[in-house]
Chains A and B, each alone.
Chain A
C-alpha cells in the first residue's frame, strides 16, 4: 500500500468529517498533516485488484438500505443518520437499572478519540422522537463529552419487536448483574417471547445453565427482590442459592435472612458461606425492638412492585420505584396520606378525646 501517512480509507474520512460536523462549535480544525515527499528513484505502483467481481445485481441487491428509493413519501428508515441527542429517549424495555459513571467517562473518551464505530439503533416514535433500541451507554457517554448528535440506525420496529431487540441486544448486557439478567429473562418468559429456559438461552445467546442461575436470583421472595431493585448487584446466583437453602430449611427465618443480606450493602464481597453463617446465627437475647425493618412490597395491577414500605417501631418509610412518573408519585402520596388520615381518624387513642 501507499507509504504516505496521510492516506486514509473513505470510511475513515467519512467518520472524521462527521466528527468535525459534530464539533462545529469548536474553533480548531484538525490540522492536515503535510504530504510525505515523493520518494526518489523507482516509483511505487499499486497492485490492480484481481479475482472475481460481483454483479451489479448482487451489489445493489445486497444493500437494500442504500438511501433513496425515489419515493418521496417513504419514511426514512433503515438508514444511518446523525440524530440529535436531545431527541433520543431510553427504551422502557432496557434491563439496565444503573450506569457506572466511571465506565461512561471511559466510553466517552473512547468515542472522542476513535469516533463512533457503529451506529446506535433507534426507532421513530409517533411523537417524532427516537427511542433507543441499543446504545444506552454510548448515548450517555456522548452526552457526557458534549456531543450534540450521535449516528443512529433508524429501524422500523413494532413495540414487540423493539422490546425483544432491546432485551436481547448484546450491549444491553455489558456488566449486568445476575439479578438484572434474571429479570430480563423473566420478562422474556412473562411476555411470551420464550416459553422455556432453553428458548430464553437461544434468544439471549447464552447457556441454559446461565439462564437458570440468573432466574434463581430474580425469583427470590418479594422482599428480597425489592431490596435487589435498589441494589441489583447485592447477590450473585451463588448467594441466592444459600438464601434459598436457608429459607427452605426454615421459612420463618426470612427476617434474619433479610437482615443478613442487608449487611452486604456495606460488605459487598461477603462470600456465600459467610452469608449462610450470618443468616443462621441466632442472636440470643435480642430484644423485640431490634427487629429489623421489614420491607413490604406493594404490587401494582401487573403484579410488579411499584414501591417498598419499610416499617420500624414508629417510622413508616415508603420508597417509590423509579418506574413511577413524578405525577404518579404525587398522586400515590396523596392517596397514601388520605388513607392514613382515615386510619388515624378510626383509631381511638386514649387521652386524646
Chain B
C-alpha cells in the first residue's frame, strides 16, 4: 500500500500525448503555451520533459480553456453492480480519470466503507494521523472524513464539515477530486435505517445534498463547479446506494458476462422501477460489459439476453479480459491503469469506454 498519495512517477511526452489523445507536438506546444513547469531528464543525452501527474491534468485544464468547453450542469452518475468482483471500482476510477483527462472537472464519491476507490487513488484509509506524523507523510494523505461528514444526518446536531476539508485532490487541483471513504462510513447505513423508521426519507438525503450543492443553497458545498459527479456505490442494495441512484442521471452497471450476470442487471432494473414508482425519478441504465470475450458461447448468450431485454442500456464499447489489469494492480504506484500505463490495452479500452459513455450521456 502506498503511504503517500503524492505520486513521484513521471511521464514522458509520448505517454502524456496518449493519455490526452493528442500528438506529442501538441503536448509540447500546449505545455509551453500554458507555461507549465515540467522537469527535464537529468544525466547525459537529451533533456526530455518529464511530466508529473499534476502537470498532465494542468495541461488538460489548459486545453479545456483553450477549446472553450462550455460548462453545463453536471452529469451525475452512479457506478453500481449488484454482483461483486465485476470491475466496478476499477471502472469508476478509470472513467473518472479519463473524464478529467478530457478537461472535465470531476468529483468522485466513494460510498463503500471498503474504500476501494479511495485506495485506487493511493490513499490508505487505515493510516492514522500519528502514524502519518511518524512516517513523515504529507498530512493530506490521511483520510479523516468521508461522505457522511457532509450530510446533516450524520451528526446529532446536524452540523457538517465543509467540502474543502473532506475532499482529496490526489493529482492536484485540476485532477479528479475525491470524497474518500473509510470503515466508519458504514455507520451511515445505521443512521439511514433509523431515519427510515422515523419516516424521514433517507433516500432523499443524497438527492437533497446534490440539489442544495448545485443551487447554492448549501454554502459549505459548491457542486456547480463540477462537470461530472460520480458515485461509486457498494455492491449492496442499501439506503446509500438507492439514494445515490435517486440523485443520479445515469447508473453505469459493469456486467461481468459470467453466469447469472444478467440477473444482477435484472435486480437493478427492478430497483429503478421502484424509484420511478416511489419518486418519479430514476437514472437511465447503462450496461458496461467487462471481461468480455465474444468467443465464449456463454458470453454470447448473455450479450444476446441483455441487448434483447435492455437495448437502450447497452454501451457499444467494452472491456475485454486482460492480464494487463492484473499487472497494473500489482504496480508499485497505485493509480488507475489509464494513468499508470496509458499505452496498455486496457487503458486504450477504458478511454474508448469513457468517450462512448460521455457521448451516450450527452445524447440522452
Contact = CB atoms under 8 A, between A and B. Distances in A.
Interface of A: 1-2, 9-11, 14, 17-18, 21, 43-49, 51, 53-61, 63, 65-72, 74, 79-82, 119, 151
A151 to B, nearest CB: 7
Instruction: Indicate the member of B157, B266, B310 with the most A CB atoms within 10 Å.
Output: B266
Nearest to B153: A68
Given A49-B276, A67-B195, A69-B152, A60 B204 contact: yes
Interface of B: 76, 152-153, 157-160, 195-205, 207-208, 210-212, 214-215, 218, 242, 246-247, 262-263, 265-267, 269-270, 272-276, 278-285, 305, 309-310, 312-313
Nearest to B76: A56
B262 A82 contact: no
A48 B277 CA distance: 12
Contact of A79 (B199, B211, B279): B199
Given A57-B211, A67-B153, 11 more contacts: A10-B278, A45-B265, A45-B305, A45-B309, A46-B270, A46-B273, A49-B276, A56-B211, A56-B281, A61-B211, A69-B152
Contacts of B205: 66-67
27 contacts: A9-B274, A10-B278, A17-B196, A43-B263, A45-B262, A45-B263, A46-B269, A46-B270, A48-B269, A48-B312, A48-B313, A49-B272, A49-B273, A51-B276, A54-B280, A56-B211, A56-B281, A57-B211, A58-B281, A60-B207, A60-B208, A61-B211, A63-B201, A66-B205, A67-B198, A67-B205, A79-B200
B210 A82 contact: no
A250 B109 CA distance: 86
A321 B239 CA distance: 53
Contacts of A10: 203, 242, 274, 278
Given A44-B266, A48-B269, A48-B272, A70 B160 contact: yes
Contacts of A45: 262-263, 265-266, 269, 305, 309
Contacts of B201: 63, 65-67
A59 B266 contact: no
Given A53-B282, A66-B204, A67-B153, A60 B211 contact: yes
Contacts of A54: 279-281
A65 B275 CA distance: 18
A151 B153 contact: no
B210 A56 contact: yes
Contact of A48 (B196, B200, B278, B310): B310
B215 A48 contact: no
Contacts of B247: 56
A9 B242 CA distance: 13
Contacts of A151: 199
Contacts of B279: 54, 59
B18 to A, nearest CB: 36
Contacts of A44: 266
Nearest to B285: A48
B207 A80 contact: no
Contacts of A43: 262-263, 266
In the complex, the 10 A-B pairs of residues with the closest C-beta atoms, listed nearest first: A67-B200, A80-B199, A70-B152, A49-B276, A46-B270, A48-B269, A60-B211, A68-B152, A54-B281, A72-B157
Contacts of B218: 70
A94 to B, nearest CB: 25
Instruction: Indicate the member of B196, B197, B218, B242 with the most A CB atoms within 10 Å.
Output: B197
Nearest to B199: A80
A5 to B, nearest CB: 15
B261 to A, nearest CB: 11
B262 A53 contact: no
Contacts of B312: 48
A295 to B, nearest CB: 49
B158 A72 contact: yes
Given A2-B270, A48-B269, A49-B282, A14 B199 contact: yes
Contact of B202 (A46, A51, A67): A67
Contacts of A55: 281
A323 to B, nearest CB: 35
